[in-house]
Structure 1
Amino acid sequence: MNELRIFFTGAGSPGFNGILKGFRVGAKEEGRKIKVITADMNPDAYGFHLADKGYVIPPGNVDNFLEKMLEICDKEKPRLLVSGVDPELLPLAKAKPDFRRYGVEVVLSDWKAIELAQDKGKLYDFFKPYGFVPEYKRVKNVKEFKEAANSLGYPEKPVCFKPVFSYGMRGFRIMRPDADKVDLLFKYKPSSAFINFSEALEILKQAEAQGRFPDLLVMEYLEGKEYTVDLLARKGKSLVTIPRERVVTKEGISTVAKLEKNKEIIEYAETITEKLGFDYCINMQFRYSSDGYPKLIEVQPRFAGTTIACIGAGANLPYLALKLALGEKIPEVKVKWGTVMKRFWDEVFVLGEKQWFYGIKFEV
């Protein structure tokens, strides 16, 4: 096989290392040579030390982002372009024809599907008739925020909120009437999502006075088990669907995950994939309500940060996505259900032009 060049952005993202492992392991198993070019807006991104070559690029939401990406493609001649950075997804998907002129296939869904997935308000409205989403209200000011919280049962019930356009845990908070400021200061880490109503109101009033009040979704708080579903799809049809329980999370990222063949969630996720017409790798998050039904929290039209859990259980979705983009046959995937992933930190050391890793390699 000829060398396959992959341009994979998001060198500083938590999931970069795991997905890169998937690319390299899959290529090795097939006897294929690959070269991975990466990019990130942060010059200190750890992924620069793992890829074959790296570039510092502007954020995905600025005017010269696409110009810089096309410039790199013209120079490096990648065959495939993969992004793991949310603000990059929509502009890259819209620019697919421009990248094809350079011989580059953008491994993302159609831009219309991405646009709907990233607008959580429209996403919830779309799937409300199916009963897939939690109870919610979309609000644009403090008055509507107070009314929405009360209508959803606050203070008798906890209520949560998040911006319509947000990534990761940014802007997400859980309002509990028993959220005591002293406890939050001394018993929880600064990254805690809990907040009391009066404090939330004070911040939102300030945002409104400054003309910075974002569109918010105020929602029922779901207290049941939480799942991420990783999917590989082609034209809205799921080829592989893998739910995993988010057993332990830190700042929105799974540190312990267990693959579970949950047929109910598989059915929900495959229906959503079909309705939105997704391609390649996507992920969804569900959480069970108090009455025992899974509710869609969000859809991310990209690799998940913990896709490595699937790779370790025999489903190398990142590499299969590359094969799908190249028009190659997708082999049967045999998932080792029940596999548990436990994540830990690792390091890279840099001194001038030298770099090295330190530690013990564990062989299984």
Structure 2
Amino acid sequence: MKRLLVGGAGGTPSNNFIQSIKESSEKVFIIGMTSDPYDLCKANVEKRHLIPNAREKDYYLILEEIISENEPEFIHVQNDFEVLAISRFRNKLKKMNVITCLPKHESVVNCIDKLKSWEIWEKSEIEVPKSLIIKDEHDLKEAFKNLGNTIWIRSIKGAAGNGALPTSDVDFAKSWIDYFDGWGKFMAAEYLSPTSVTWMSLWDKGELIVAQGRKRLNWAFNDRTLSGVTGITGTGVTVSDPLVDKIAQKAILSIDSKPHGVWSVDMTYDSKGMPNPTEINIGRFFTTSLFFTKLGLNMPYIYLKLAFGEELPEIKKKINPLPPDYAWIRGMDTKPVLTNMKKISEYKKDLKKRRSLYI
């Protein structure tokens, strides 16, 4: 029985990863760890440990203790900063006989830093939103001058819409950056559109194993933030778009000619209908990985087999093996619902018919 150590246990991204592994035909023993004691209580694992945040000085020392006590064979985490930490310590973990299935460290650094990945894409002549780092008020004014009346401000590092804000007000933008102490840590980008698409993929030393596209219809709890972005997909829909497939692969290969492990690309559409890469979630799955698992594509389990160097499950189609227009609808305190866009359209048509009698 394989012994796995999973970071962020109890949080939704890791819970979906864990559930996908548990829905495979293989029995596993999962040790969960997280820096959030409340999330830890929600983890569907065999053993639990509280650990410092990955940016704390004693993170690795406590991690070593947990590994010595539990002897996991493999570690997977679902947070950018923890991915960076595990990548940094990969050689030490290898000496402790713990497998990490990560791309090379340089690629991890370049993807977690959104400014670095943007610079690589621009040099590779990939369509990306015009962007610049905001070091001071002069840079902020230049951003409004050169990027448009409305600009997109966000933290260079972090996930879940960290520090994100679309604004057309210079003073408000300044107050926002002041609040986050973000001078030199934030970037401004051209505002494209609210329409985005994602592309989750698995690679084996440069060879694509499988990839699937997913369009985001809305953000959950988007009325709770100024930006409308929460990093929590409310409804995701399977898509198959050759243009998205092409750009996602180009974005990945421009950063690493031999990608390995998990590469999840976020793209936003511009006014011409061109998907622009905005970030790569490196070494971790999208929060909604269980969506694909429920449709028959268990990417976390394929990833586990890859990490252990074992024969992979049969994959008949490498790119977009899932049928399009299946929807995964999520909310708080309720299980996600798997349905399709045809059913949702039927609800809308019924309401339209009823309203026609009164409007």
TM-score (normalizing by structure 2) = 0.83
Provide the residue aligned with 2:153 in structure 1: 161
* Mapped pair 1:105 → 2:105: no
Aligned partner letter, 2:323? W
> Once the 2 structures are TM-superposed, how far is the Cα of residue 48 of structure 1 from its aligned partner?
4.7
Provide the residue aligned with 2:11 in structure 1: 13
> Once the 2 structures are TM-superposed, how far is the Cα of residue 224 of structure 1 from its aligned partner?
5.3
Instruction: Output the CA distance in 2 between the equivalents of 1:117 and 1:73.
Output: 27
CA RMSD of aligned residues (A): 2.1
Aligned partner letter, 2:286? A
Aligned partner letter, 2:214? R
Q: Which runs of 5+ in 2 are unaligned?
A: 221-229, 339-359
Aligned partner letter, 2:135? K
Provide the residue aligned with 1:237 in structure 2: 207
Aligned partner letter, 1:83? V
Aligned partner letter, 1:197? V
Provide the residue aligned with 1:354 in structure 2: none
Aligned partner letter, 2:171? S
Q: 1:97 to 1:291 in 2, by over 3 A?
A: same
Deviations 1:38-61 (A, max 9, x none): 101111115654111110000101
Equivalent residues of 1:19, 1:308 under 8 A apart: yes
Aligned partner letter, 1:282? W
Deviations 1:274-314 (A, max 9, x none): 33233212211101100121101111111111112221222
* Mapped pair 1:299 → 2:291: no
> Once the 2 structures are TM-superposed, how far is the Cα of residue 168 of structure 1 from its aligned partner?
1.8
Instruction: Output the CA distance in 2 between the equivalents of 1:296 and 1:126.
Output: 11
Instruction: Output the CA distance in 2 between the equivalents of 1:233 and 1:227.
Output: 20
* Mapped pair 1:288 → 2:259: no
1:118 to 108, 112, 126: 112
Provide the residue aligned with 1:308 in structure 2: 290
> Once the 2 structures are TM-superposed, how far is the Cα of residue 333 of structure 1 from its aligned partner?
2.8
Instruction: Output the CA distance in 1 between the equivalents of 2:8 and 2:107.
Output: 21
* Mapped pair 1:37 → 2:16: no
Instruction: Output the CA distance in 2 between the equivalents of 1:224 and 1:202.
Output: 24
Instruction: Output the CA distance in 2 between the equivalents of 1:207 and 1:9.
Output: 26
* Mapped pair 1:141 → 2:133: no
* Mapped pair 1:218 → 2:213: no
Instruction: Output the CA distance in 2 between the equivalents of 1:84 and 1:167.
Output: 11
Instruction: Output the CA distance in 2 between the equivalents of 1:5 and 1:141.
Output: 49
Provide the residue aligned with 2:122 in structure 1: 128
Instruction: Output the CA distance in 2 between the equivalents of 1:165 and 1:340.
Output: 29
Equivalent residues of 1:7, 1:82 under 8 A apart: yes
TM-score (normalizing by structure 1) = 0.82
Provide the residue aligned with 1:191 in structure 2: none
Equivalent residues of 1:17, 1:47 under 8 A apart: no
Provide the residue aligned with 1:188 in structure 2: none
Instruction: Output the CA distance in 2 between the equivalents of 1:49 and 1:12.
Output: 4
1:93 to 70, 87, 95: 87
Instruction: Output the CA distance in 2 between the equivalents of 1:65 and 1:328.
Output: 31
Equivalent residues of 1:134, 1:295 under 8 A apart: yes
Deviations 1:148-168 (A, max 9, x none): 1111122xxx21111222322
Deviations 1:311-351 (A, max 9, x none): 1222111011100011112233353322211123347xxxx
Structure 2 residue matching 1:39: 3-state secondary structure? strand
Structure 2 residue matching 1:44: 3-state secondary structure? helix
Q: 1:214 to 1:244 in 2, by over 3 A?
A: same
> Once the 2 structures are TM-superposed, how far is the Cα of residue 204 of structure 1 from its aligned partner?
3.6
Q: After TM superposition, which residue ranges in structure 1, 4 or more long, deviate above 3 angstroms?
A: 46-49, 202-208, 344-347
Equivalent residues of 1:237, 1:274 under 8 A apart: no
Equivalent residues of 1:159, 1:175 under 8 A apart: yes
Instruction: Output the CA distance in 2 between the equivalents of 1:7 and 1:313.
Output: 26
Aligned partner letter, 1:13? G
Matches within 5 A, 1:327-338: 327-333=309-315, 335-338=321-324
Aligned partner letter, 2:128? V
* Mapped pair 1:198 → 2:178: no
Instruction: Output the CA distance in 2 between the equivalents of 1:48 and 1:163.
Output: 29
Q: Which runs of 5+ in 1 are unaligned?
A: 177-195, 348-358
* Mapped pair 1:326 → 2:308: yes
Q: 1:202 to 1:273 in 2, by over 3 A?
A: closer
How many residue pairs were aligned? 319
Equivalent residues of 1:228, 1:285 under 8 A apart: yes
